[in-house]
Amino acid sequence: MSEHLLEVRHLKKYFPITAGLLNRTVGHVKAVDDISLTIQAGETFGLVGESGSGKSTVGRTILRLHEKTDGEVLFKGMPIHELSKAEMSKLRPQMQLIFQDPYSSLNPRIRIGDAVGEALVNHGLATKEEARERALDVLEACGLSSYHYSRFPHEFSGGQRQRIGIARALALNPDFIIADEPVSALDVSIQAQIINLFKKLQHTRGLTYLFISHDLSVVEHLCNRIGVMYLGSMMEMASRDELFSQPLHPYTKALLSAIPVPVPKLKRERIVLKGDIPSPANPPSGCKFHTRCPYAVSRCKEEIPEFRNVGGDHFVACHLV
Amino acid sequence: MNPLIEINHLSTHFHTGSGTVKAVDDVSFRIHPGETVCIVGESGCGKSITAMSIMGLVEGPHGKVVNGSIQFDGKDLLRISKEELRRIRGNDISIIFQEPMSSLNPVITIGKQIMEPLMIHQRLSKKQAYARALELIELVGIPRAEQIAESYPHQLSGGMLQRIMIAIAISCEPKLLIADEPTTALDVTIQAQVLETLRQSKEQSNMSIMLITHDLGVVAEMADYVIVMYAGKIVEEGEVTELFERPKHPYTQGLLRSKPIIGQRTEELFSIPGQVPNPLELTESCYFHDRCDSCMDICRTRQPELKQVSASQRAACWLYEEEAQHE
C-alpha cells in the first residue's frame, strides 16, 4: 500500500438538497459517486470533465475541505477522514491546494510576501524572520523578484497572481499539490508560462500533482495518467498515451473530438453530442451517459456499467467495450 | 465585391484618472458579405471594444470613439442619428455576448424575448411573431420549442441560453452578426454544438459574421479571414490558411506556438516572455518589442505600420520593412 502517495477508495460525497420551512432533506446531489484512484509519488494525475462533473469536489474531499459521505482517502497510508483535528493540522502542510481564480484567492489588503509566508507562521513551522526568507525563496522559484515582496495583489496581472498562488502552496514544502483549474483564467501566452512552471517545479522539488482541468490539451502536456469524469463518476482512466491514442469510452471520444484544433480547413470526424449534461440531483439510470451517448443500447439504460480494467491499467466503465 | 462594412481608422479612447487608455488605436478592416472574420487577441487588446464601437455601445462620459468612420450600407454609423442607429441595430447588425445568463432578462419568458425584435423591427403581429419564435428555437437545434418559449432564462442551461441568444440575433435576418466570445463560458461539447449552430445559420442566410475570440482553435474552425490585435492595434491580418501556415508577426508566431495541441506534445511549451504592456504606459514604439525575440533598435523608438507582406497578409512589424534595414 505504501508505494502510493494517495489512494482513494470508493469515495462518495453527497450534498443534501433541503426544502421547506423545516429544511427537510428532500434529495441528494451526488457530486462524487464512487470514485477510486491512486496516485504514485512523483506523478501528475489529471482529472478531466465538464462543469458539474464533480472534479473539484473530488479534490476538496481528498483534502478534507468537505467531509466524505462514504469511502476512504489514504495519504501515505493514513486515513485522512479518520484523523483528529490536531493530527489533521499537522498533515495539512504536506498537501496544498491552488485555486482557479487568482483574483479572488488573494486577500487584497495583505502584502504578497506576507501572504506567502503566512501559512508557515500559522503552522508554527517558522518564525517571522524565517518565513520572510522562505517567502523570498519560493517567490523567486516561481519567477517573481524580491522587490515584489511588499506589493499588494492589485498590482499584479493574472499570470503573476497565479504565480503567487503557486508560491503560497510551495512555501510549506508540500509533497502533494492539488491544482484546481490553475490555468483556465489565463491568456494563451501566459498559460504556457504557468504550465512550464508547473513542470519545472515538479522536476526540482519532486512534487506530486493532482491536476484538475476541463482542457484536455493542457492535461495532455502535463499529466502522466488521466481520469475522465462525468456526473460524479469516473468514466475512463488510463495512462496519457493510452487515453489519447486509444480512447475507449464514447464520452472520452466525444470530448477529444470536440476540441477545436488550430489547423484551418482540417476536416475531422466530429462526434457532436446532443443535449446538455443532466442534473446531478437526478442522474439518468444505468450508465449516466446514456442520454447523450450516440451508441447507447437498451442495456445502458438499465444496468450500471462496472468500472473495470481492460488490460494495461486502462480502466473504463462502458458496456460496449 | 463591395464590402458589407468598412471600418476606417477607428480609435476609441477611455479617459481614466491616471491618463488616457487607447483601447482601440487606428484600426481599419472590412468584412464582405457572407464572410467570417475572426478577431483574436488576449484580454485587454481591444477586440471587444472594437465590437462595441461598431454597435455604438461605448458609454460616455469616460469612453468615446474619437476618430474614424464605419461605413455600412452607404451610411457612416458614427455620424447617423440615434433613431437611425436603432433601426440598424438588431435588424441589420446584431450582437451576441459572452455571458448568455446576463444578456437575457430574467423576468421575461424566452418566447417574449425572441418576439420583441420581430415585432419592433419586422412589424409582425403578436401571433406571427410567436410562430416565428417557435421556428427560430427549432432552427437553433432546441427541441420542444413551445415548452421552451414559455420558460424563463434560469430554467435553461448555459448552452441553451447561448443558442437562444443566437436565435434572437438572427431573428431579423441581419446582414452582419457580431459574436463576442460566444463560447468562452461553455464546455467543449456544448461549444461544438453552438459553433455548429452558428455555421448553419450563416449558410442559410449568407450573413457575415465578426467573431471575437481568444481561442485559436475556434478561429481555425470558423474563420475565412483573421485579424490579430495586440494592445489596441492590428498587428497582423490575413486569409486564415495562409496566416496559420505562415504567420509573419512574431506575436502571431508566438501565440500559435504557445497553444498546447492534442497529439503534439513537447517537453516544454513555447511561451512568450513577459506580459501585455500597461495601456497607460505606451510610448512611440512597437508595443510588442519588450516581449519579442527579434527586437531591433528601431522597434523601441518607432511604431511600424500595417503593410502588405504577402499576397493575402498584412503585418505591422519592422522585420518586413525596408526602412528598418537601411537605418
Residue A241's Cβ-count burial label (10 Å; 0-12, 13-18, 19+) is exposed
Predicted confidence band at B323 (pLDDT cuts at 50, 70, 90)? low
Detail the DSSP E strand segments found in chain A. Answer: 4-19, 24-40, 44-48, 70-75, 78-79, 95-98, 176-180, 208-213, 225-230, 233-239, 308-309, 315-316
- Ordered by where they begin, the domains of chain B are 3-91+173-323 (3.40.50.300)
Closest by Cβ to B220, choosing from A196, A255, A264: A264
Query: Which of B189, B262, B275 minimises the CB distance to A273?
Result: B189
Q: How confident is the model at residue A1 (pLDDT cuts 50, 70, 90)?
A: very low
Closest partner residue to B262 (CB to CB) among A192, A199, A259 is A259
CA A144 distance to own-chain centroid? 25
**Angle, vertex CA A187, rays to CA B169 and CA B309, nearest 5:** 80
ipTM over 0.90: no
pLDDT one-digit tens code per residue, B227-265 = 999 999 999 999 999 999 999 999 999 999 988 888 777
Q: Angle CA(A139)–CA(A145)–CA(A148) in degrees, nearest 5?
A: 90
One-letter identity of residue A225 = R
CA nearest to B264 within chain A: A221
pTM above 0.80, yes or no: yes
- Contact between residue B109 and residue B150 where contact means Cβ atoms under 8 Å apart: yes
Is some CB atom of chain A closer than 8 A to the CB atom of B268? yes
Residue of B nearest to A220 (CA): B262
Helices and strands in chain A: count of H runs, count of E runs: 10, 12
Minimum-distance CB partner of B256 among A157, A244, A262? A262
CB atoms closer than 10 angstroms to residue A269: 6
Contacts with A221 from chain B: Cβ below 8 Å: 260, 265-266, 269
Average pLDDT score over chain A: 90
Query: B249: which chain A residues are within 8 Å (Cβ-Cβ)?
Result: none
Q: Which of B45, B157, B188 to mutate to test the interface with A (most CBs of A within 10 A)?
A: B188
How close does chain A come to B326, measured CA to CA in Å?
A: 32
B139-179 pLDDT, tens digit per residue, is: 888 888 999 999 999 988 888 899 899 999 999 999 999 99
Whether B280 shows a pLDDT value over 90: the answer reads: no
pLDDT band at A279 (very low <50, low <70, confident <90, very high): confident
Question: What percent of chain A is modeled with pLDDT above 70?
Answer: 98
Q: Which superfamily does A84-223 belong to?
A: P-loop containing nucleotide triphosphate hydrolases (3.40.50.300)
Q: Please report which confidence band the pLDDT of residue B123 belongs to, taking 50, 70 and 90 as the band edges.
A: very high
pLDDT of amino acid A2: 45
Inter-chain contact B43–A187, Cβ cutoff 8 Å?
Answer: yes
Is residue B211 less than 8 Å (CB to CB) from chain A? no
Place of cell 428532500: A26
Whether residue A264 has a cis bond before it, omega within 30° of 0: no
Q: Where are the domains of chain A?
A: 84-223
Percent of chain B with pLDDT over 90: 63
